[in-house]
Amino acid sequence: MNINGAAVWDMDDRMDAFVTACKQNGLRLTHQRLEIYRELMAAKDHPSAEMVYTRVRMRIPTISLDTVYRTLGSLEECNIIGRVGASTSSARFESNPLPHDHFICDGCGEIRDVFASELNREALARAVPEEYVVRSSHVELRGFCPACGQGGGRD
């Protein structure tokens, strides 16, 4: 399936890929880990660890914030999820494995996925000095969302 020129994985395929990636990286498939990943798959707002914790806690009241942080850290270390907007004060995460970039609103901090079919990631990687190894690429566009308006933040 395609949305705005970008391929889209269905949730079952993404969950199967998650299970496979966990096994390949020696991560146990705990109930907490599965629920945290399910929350990331369902989220469209690139949630912070605290946001994931609040949402997952509705389903698993005994989960701790520490468990969420450690799980997100493990999944990021294994390249199963990605960190978004590292320049923001709070790390934000996502589970979308498809090549895409992000628009970040300087007013409210909203993060939107951007799928640019014209972006030549291979050329971008070739621009990096030879002695460096590129594992992935990510372009971050910054500006203002419609709610924050042209060049101004919320008052």
pLDDT in tens, 27-76: 999 999 999 999 999 998 889 999 999 999 999 999 999 999 999 999 98
- State residue 93 phi and psi, 5-degree precision: -130, 160
Q: Which pLDDT belongs to residue 154?
A: 43
Dist CA 4 CA 117 (whole Å): 9
Dist CA 22 CA 20 (whole Å): 5
Residue 127, classed as helix, strand or coil, is: coil
pLDDT in tens, 70-97: 999 999 889 899 887 655 557 788 887 7
Are 81 and 75 spatial neighbours (Cβ–Cβ below 8 Å)?
yes
As a whole-number percent, the residues of the chain with pLDDT over 90 amount to: 38
Dist CA 67 CA 70 (whole Å): 5
3-state DSSP helix/strand/coil % of the chain, to nearest 5? 35, 15, 50
Are 112 and 103 spatial neighbours (Cβ–Cβ below 8 Å)?
yes
Confidence of residue 18 (pLDDT cuts 50, 70, 90): very high
- What domains appear along the chain, each with residue ranges and CATH number? 2-94 (1.10.10.10), 101-143 (3.30.1490)
Helix-helix angle 31-42:11-24, to 10 degrees:
140
Q: Please tell me the pTM assigned to this model.
A: 0.63
Q: Give alpha helix (H) positions in the chain.
A: 11-24, 31-42, 49-57, 65-77, 121-126
pLDDT in tens, 124-138: 788 888 898 877 777
